[in-house]
Amino acid sequence: MRFKLFIEYDGTRYSGWQKQQNSKSIQETISNVIFKVFKKTNGKNKLIDLQGSGRTDSGVHAFEQIAHLECETNLAPHIFRMKINDELPSDINILKIDKVKSNFHARHSAKSRQYVYRISRRRTAFEKKYVWWIKDNLDIEKMKSAARLFEGFNDFRSFTDKKNDAESTTVLVDELIIDSEGDIIKIRIKASHFLWKMVRRIVGILAEVGRGNMNNTDIENFLDIYSNEPSKFTAPPSGLFLEKVNY
């Protein structure tokens, strides 16, 4: 049987979504809990396969990550969800579980992903783990103008640490929208897929534009010719959330 899991998590204590040796991940934590639920329910371990829609980096959060789970169980989805949540740590929560067709794949079936980055204009006692506090005054209008340059089909090789020479660095960005609510600036980006650290480097460069240290011409040059400059301005993971996966 195959299930679709809707998951929210605070990524502060984790090395990211993907299982890794010698570090704690979201995927491994949930998988271990599912094993525990099956052992309690059936008195034995069962084989499972849990796959996410994509990796989130160390310290990055999710309002709604999607994963598919391949397993055998007689538990109804709502009971299954309740039993999993009872065993999960407080910073991971299963929002919903649906039965899906066997050909549904959390990553391959996805049409686009959407992230939101939160910048705080002030020091905050409650949200330090979930924002990037920038002390400088940011020119939002300049940032909005620069954001439009990232939309469309572009080569983002200047905005990622390339791990595999065979991996394409071209990405279709459907939209990049900047708005503000009180002291919070939200940078929302929707794209076909994302490269490692791509969103955080885009945000870092947009912050430099807002500070007046860069302009639209700089961004155009980064998109036309490879440069290592954006890596110097990589935004911290604390403000980044996977917001939505579209199918």
Q: Which of 10, 49, 57, 98 is catalytic?
A: 57
Task: Give dist(CA 219, CA 161) in Å, integer.
Answer: 17
**Residues 130-189: pLDDT tens digits?**
999 999 999 999 999 999 999 999 999 999 986 655 578 999 999 999 999 999 999 999
For tokens 């390339």, what's the residue?
Answer: 162
Are 89 and 142 found together in one domain?
no
User: For position 202, which CATH number holds?
Assistant: 3.30.70.660
Percent of the chain with pLDDT over 70: 96
pLDDT of res. 44: 58
Q: What's the start-to-end Cα distance of the chain, in Å? A: 20
Residue 105 falls within a domain, yes or no? no
Percent of the chain with pLDDT over 90: 87
Residue 84 falls within a domain, yes or no? yes
Task: Name the band, by pLDDT with cuts 50, 70 and 90, for residue 72.
Answer: confident
Are 95 and 118 found together in one domain?
no
Are 25 and 136 found together in one domain?
no
Task: Name the band, by pLDDT with cuts 50, 70 and 90, for residue 48.
Answer: confident
- Which residue, among 105, 111, 226, 131, has the nearest Cα to 183 in the 3D structure? 131
pLDDT of res. 166: 57
Tally of structural domains, the chain: 2
- For the ranges 64-73, 156-165, 236-245, the lowest mean pLDDT is seen at 156-165
Are 84 and 159 found together in one domain?
no
Copy the structure tokens of residue 135: 């002390």
Q: Is 81 helix (H, G, I), strand (E, B) or coil?
A: helix
Residue 187 falls within a domain, yes or no? yes
Task: Give dist(CA 107, CA 103) in Å, integer.
Answer: 12
- Domain limit, last residue, from 100, 131, 146: 100
List the beta strands (DSSP E) in 107-196. 112-120, 132-133, 152-155, 170-181, 184-191
Are 48 and 159 found together in one domain?
no
Are 129 and 166 found together in one domain?
yes
Residue 39 falls within a domain, yes or no? yes
For tokens 């849990």, what's the residue?
Answer: 50
User: For position 39, which CATH number holds?
Assistant: 3.30.70.580
**Residues 122-134: pLDDT tens digits?**
999 999 999 999 9
Residue 106 falls within a domain, yes or no? no
DSSP H helices, the chain, are 26-42, 77-87, 140-147, 198-211, 216-224
- Which residue, among 100, 97, 14, has the nearest Cα to 55 in the 3D structure? 14
164, amino acid identity: N
Residue 58 falls within a domain, yes or no? yes
Are 129 and 92 found together in one domain?
no
**Residues 187-222: pLDDT tens digits?**
999 999 999 999 999 999 999 999 999 999 999 999
Are 60 and 173 found together in one domain?
no
Residue 45, pLDDT above cutoff 60: no
- For the ranges 2-11, 22-31, 40-49, 207-216, the lowest mean pLDDT is seen at 40-49
Does residue 136 have an active-site annotation? no
Are 144 and 85 found together in one domain?
no
- Which residue, among 188, 196, 114, has the nearest Cα to 147 in the 3D structure? 188
Q: Is 49 helix (H, G, I), strand (E, B) or coil?
A: strand
**What residues make up the domain containing 14?**
2-100
Q: Is 212 helix (H, G, I), strand (E, B) or coil?
A: coil
Instruction: State the chain's mean pLDDT as an integer.
Output: 94
Residue 126 falls within a domain, yes or no? yes
Contact 204, 124 (CB under 8 A): no
Task: Name the band, by pLDDT with cuts 50, 70 and 90, for residue 247.
Answer: very high
Are 141 and 206 found together in one domain?
yes
